[in-house]
Structure 1
Amino acid sequence: MERRKFLGAISLAGIAGALRPGALLAGAGSGTDGSRNVSVPVHALEGAPGSRNPSKEALPGRPGKDREYWWQLLHKIATPVVSNLAAGTLVKNMPVEKSPTFDKRSIHVTYLEAVGRTFAGIAPWLALPDDGSREGAARKKMRENALEGLRRCFAPGSPDALNFKTDYQPIVDAAYLAQSFLRAPKALWEPLDETTRTNIIEAFRSLRNRKPFNSNWLLFGSLTEAFLLQAGMEPDEERLMKGIVKMKEWYKGDGWYGDGPNLAFDYYNSFVIHPMLTDTLAVLAARRPALQKDYEEALKRMQRYALEQERMISPEGTFPPIGRSITYRTAAFQALSQVALMELLPEGISPAQVRSALTLVKKNMYSAPGTFTKDGWLMLGFVGHDPQVADYYTSTGSLYMATLSFLPLGLPASNAFWADPPAEWTAKKAWAGKNFPKDYHVDY
């Protein structure tokens, strides 16, 4: 039953749209195709600079208003990538800021990072059916631009052609792009023409001449091969299964996997491990019944980790800046967001309390001056602009992992996640002296 709910969540048919960068936040304007863009004035986005301090709100948000804030913010983040990709101007227009300690890898990988990560985050939203709302119009436009962008960036000779043939970094972001196709097959994969689908498959298969590192990277290989299997291709069996086998070996207990043999106290269990392991096993369990128990085990562990994530959100809507890659910002909550999308939140955690907590986190984080350039591109930093916290592998494209916390936008507006009244989350209850659930270690 759980697996069926998950597969339903990642395969919703839908459409989506993108406007020119900043259109939603800078007033009405015309798109590059001459069409009129949907627009919302900047003061309409709650938590924007100049509005009230979101940390001072007793209990932020209202049904409907929170969703409006989320989709407008996701649209603001994703539009520069998606609209420029559709126009063939991503390489031309995307500013590239590198970490002060950036290593010798080709900077060209930053464009693939931007595409793969953005698409993985917007996919569930794009999978929703069309409607006549402002959100629906923006979503439809973004879907159209996403499909056009995929055609362009996989066309030989395109100025935005993505690099898969050199460096190791494409192993990572091919997996995020593959994950977007698993999350929204009817919106992002099936509508593509046969030539583009063939080019994507060949690009993914070309990665087999490079082995993922012995860490969370193994799951990038597994997820990409799982997608190829889903697409009707013969997978590289060793690459497909190695991430699954090693993660079972590296499980440390209580919802935490090691990133390799050792435990790393950072957010890679959310950035990569739980979502990609669960998504890979969902594909495999549908074809190989013997792996159903592995899927159910991985899901229970992700639910446990999601419970812990919810408890890490402070009453003020902040979370610990621990470990590496903190420039990925709210991607730290991908695991919690995915469990919410699957409608499988752990007992004792309501959808509304997750929505309320994450809404305040987003307001605190994305309203900080220096988060975006004047043209709407993300800048290096955790809260605001701070290149010094960027790691040696981080550049502008890396930052679009932030979209991965917006997965619940794949739930319709009528879902309890969006429709229920605001609710206090665990830490807010605890620090107000109110009753809250006790917490115990689990053995699975």
Structure 2
Amino acid sequence: MLESTTLAAGSAAADAWDRDRWAAHADRMLAAVVPFTSPGGSLVTLPGAEGGYGRSIDGLEGFARTFLLGGFRLAGERGADPHGYADRFAAGLDAGTDPHHPERWQRLSEHAQAKVEAASVALVLDMTRPWIWDRLDARVQEQVVDYLAEAVGDDTYPRINWVWFRLVVQTFLRGVGGPHSVAEMREDLATHDTFARRDGWLADGAERSFDHYNGWALHLYPTLWARMAGAADLAAARRADDVARLDRFLTDALALVGGDGSPLVQGRSLAYRFAAAAPFWVGAIAEVPSHAPGRLRRAASAVVGHFADHGAPDDDGLLTLGWHHAWPRIAQAYSGPGSPYWASKGMLGLALPADHPAWTAPAEPLPVESGDVLRTVAAPGWIVSGTRADGIVRVVNHGTDHALPGADVGDSPLYARLGYSTATSPWLDEASWASPAEQSVTLLDAAGRASHRAGFETLRAPDLAADGGTPVAVAASRAAAHWLDVAPGQRDHGSGRHGTTAPAGTITTVSLVRGPWEVRCVRVEEVPDGASPVALRVSGWPTVAGDGLDSRVDPLLGDWQPVVTERADASPMGDDARVPALDTHVQVGRWLAALVTLRGAVPDRPDPPADDPAALTLDGTDAVVRWPDGVTTTTRLV
């Protein structure tokens, strides 16, 4: 039987996050950035290396993203302002939008990143209108309108989550009698609707791009936008569908939070950290029907509490580029020292007053705290397996790669790996972008270079198969594996690297998942003339020294040789990163298989129980698996 020990300690820690503690946490963060604020208040230039877009954008980001947090505090207190946030940010608005001030902001027409930050400014100005906007001098109001008005008629906003930046700005302008284009607002809403996928999920653009932007952008903005003064008529016909989509998405999102509060370590912009709590607060604001406010608060508290317990913010109250601690390599090309403060979105609940049910309802456990989780998520092509004993949530991925089917690009470690979890991180060193090391099935060339699978075909969408009442989750994909010579000089926006590719072979991979285990069945379908791969490799979960994780890859079918890859600075989780793997010679047309395991230490019992030997036999297209807990199942492969 799978283990079912309760993680009581994690629950107690999250329940301690009442509204007073949340508020104190926010106030500490806002106080910590004061020494890095310019004299006029418009630029918050935090310590660290200059960001990819320069110091002026660094300062604007620092202002706009801390303005989110200050605005939430002000709104939730219904204007009570003992810390002087309204005056502090009003001064910054004056200096930043004054085109003649030495601390003026980069304008929307001068730098694209200003369009992102302008949306935060507009959103908070609308949310706090009685306490900031209505009290600004007419001169400052005119400056702000003039600054934001450059969004109108600008057709250069990328057709991804950025459509909301133009829409939010124009909606604010419309609400204060400023210039706007209703036609452009409708266009942006229509573009957003093209992102809709199954079960409430949204893709960030046309590619198979599924990540935390689902929650902290693509579901956040519709709910907050609908409450803006300039949105009432446009939002009325959309509200029911947007809420229903959010409600369904939250069913999956709640299951993706680990028992220790960690969100899934997957996708770009991971330096935003506890912005991953945002969709739970959005659900509370939208009053979704299927999820109790106490459970939504519990999830948000668990996420923010996880980072607080692991050093983010740091001892100085600051957020750095990193995950638990500073780790600059986690940044994308657009990241700067102020970028992590998009984490403020995860504190959106502070915009709700103390008497709101999200704060007063009793806490309810996360799905992984209530029992083992085994479910499928259709849109991103994920199997989700959470184990109550260790609190780890794992995702096995056969549908996401931040690319289009058939694309001839490199794998992004953030998207295209076969597995992600709340306890491990993909390797993000430069070598891992060029040659996948962890959670992959690859063909190796004579130099040891591993193939990529981006552009793969999903053969079998994730589904649950029950054998005598024992559920097994199954998914399959086929990759035109290719080796990549990375072109120099690329800017990292999260997707895979481009370069010159060479075909390596066609690989079918089928995953059978229960609890902490994945039976990974692999078949090389063909090897093109001239490719000559020297080995097939199946690699497992990445770990770091001292994390207490048990990560193994054990042979089931085939003649395998164990391999361990180790690197010093590949993971934001810590030093001495390690990945177990198995290698074998290439055999076209033959099924091979390995058991991939990830387990964590359990409170009061740090050593995992001894497993029985696992076994796999094939009966035609059926896989008969004897699992390490002694259960036997029969599942169709493809």
* TM-score for both structures, normalised by structure 1: 0.74
Q: d(CA) in 1 for partners of 2:240 and 2:319?
A: 36
Aligned counterpart, 1:240: 185
Aligned counterpart, 2:340: 399
Aligned counterpart, 1:358: 300
Aligned counterpart, 2:49: 97
Aligned counterpart, 2:321: 380
Distance 1:368 1:97, change over 3 A: farther
Return 5+ residue gaps in structure 1 as ranges: 1-53, 434-439
Aligned counterpart, 1:68: 20
Q: d(CA) in 2 for partners of 1:358 and 1:218?
A: 26
* Alignment partner of 1:251 is 2:201: no
Q: d(CA) in 1 for partners of 2:50 and 2:345?
A: 21
Amino acid at match of 2:105: L
* Highest RCO, 1 vs 2 (Cα 8 Å, sep ≥ 6): 1
Alignment of 1:154-303 (within 5 A): 154-164=97-107, 165-208=109-152, 209=154, 211-283=156-228, 287-288=232-233, 292-303=236-247
Amino acid at match of 1:367: D
Report the structure, 1 or 2, having the larger strand content: 2
- Please, which of 83, 88, 106 is the counterpart of residue 40 of structure 2? 88
Is contact 1:82–1:145 with CA below 8 Å preserved after alignment? no
Q: d(CA) in 2 for partners of 1:302 and 1:282?
A: 16
Measure how far apart 1:117 and its partner are.
2.1
Amino acid at match of 1:247: H
Aligned counterpart, 1:409: 350
Measure how far apart 1:335 and its partner are.
2.1
Amino acid at match of 1:79: A
Measure how far apart 1:286 and its partner are.
5.4
> CA offsets per residue over residues 256-289 of structure 1, 9 Å max, x none?
1221112312111222222223434455885536
Measure how far apart 1:366 and its partner are.
2.4
Distance 1:205 1:122, change over 3 A: same
Q: d(CA) in 2 for partners of 1:240 and 1:288?
A: 12
Larger radius of gyration: 2
Q: d(CA) in 2 for partners of 1:218 and 1:93?
A: 27
Return 5+ residue gaps in structure 2 as ranges: 1-6, 373-387, 390-462, 465-638
Measure how far apart 1:429 and its partner are.
0.9
Aligned counterpart, 1:141: 84
- Please, which of 55, 58, 66 is the counterpart of residue 118 of structure 1? 66
Is contact 1:59–1:422 with CA below 8 Å preserved after alignment? no
* Alignment partner of 1:330 is 2:274: yes
* Alignment partner of 1:107 is 2:55: yes
Q: d(CA) in 2 for partners of 1:210 and 1:85?
A: 33
Is contact 1:252–1:258 with CA below 8 Å preserved after alignment? yes
Q: d(CA) in 2 for partners of 1:114 and 1:55?
A: 37
Amino acid at match of 2:40: G
Q: d(CA) in 2 for partners of 1:203 and 1:373?
A: 36
Measure how far apart 1:68 and its partner are.
2.0
Q: d(CA) in 1 for partners of 2:322 and 2:135?
A: 36
Distance 1:336 1:98, change over 3 A: farther
Distance 1:235 1:327, change over 3 A: same
Q: d(CA) in 2 for partners of 1:90 and 1:287?
A: 31
Measure how far apart 1:181 and its partner are.
1.8
Amino acid at match of 1:234: P
> CA offsets per residue over residues 20-49 of structure 1, 9 Å max, x none?
xxxxxxxxxxxxxxxxxxxxxxxxxxxxxx
Distance 1:262 1:240, change over 3 A: same
* TM-score for both structures, normalised by structure 2: 0.53
The 3-state SS of whatever aligns with 1:288 is helix
Percent of aligned pairs with the same amino acid: 21
* Alignment partner of 1:59 is 2:20: no
Q: d(CA) in 1 for partners of 2:8 and 2:29?
A: 22
Q: d(CA) in 1 for partners of 2:217 and 2:357?
A: 27
Report the structure, 1 or 2, having the larger helix content: 1
> CA offsets per residue over residues 187-225 of structure 1, 9 Å max, x none?
232222211111111001124456201221122111111
Aligned counterpart, 1:127: 75
